[in-house]
Structure 1
Amino acid sequence: MALINPHINFNGNAHEAFEFYRAAFGGEFSKVVRLKDLAGPDFPVAENDENKILHISLPIGKTTD
């Protein structure tokens, strides 16, 4: 079976979109990284942006990561 790892950009609604995908396809998120996870002196994050998704992964099937 072919393996794809698409990268999709969202305009601030990635969490809602991936909750829909999880409901449609099943499974659990294997990784969720929010902007606040990378925040620090060299990478300040505004309070209204800290919960935005930087990376999220939803494996579908047994051959994806």
Structure 2
Amino acid sequence: MAVFDDDDRPKRKIQHEIGQDLSLISVTELNERIALLREEIARLEADIAKKQSSRASADQFFKK
């Protein structure tokens, strides 16, 4: 039986479920989840801006 070093084990993907019980989650993991959620918010905001720009261009083109 092989002994695994902690660095060789697959990293567990951080996921966050809205409303999840946070009492068993460490401060480090909470900070990781906050960073993950901030990245997702930035991604969503960038997509909104892209779509609004496309919409504004289409409205200008069709003189809506």
The alignment's TM-score, normalised by the length of structure 2, stands at 0.30
Higher fraction of strand: 1
Higher CA-based Rg: 2
Normalised to the residue count of structure 1, the TM-score between the two structures is 0.30
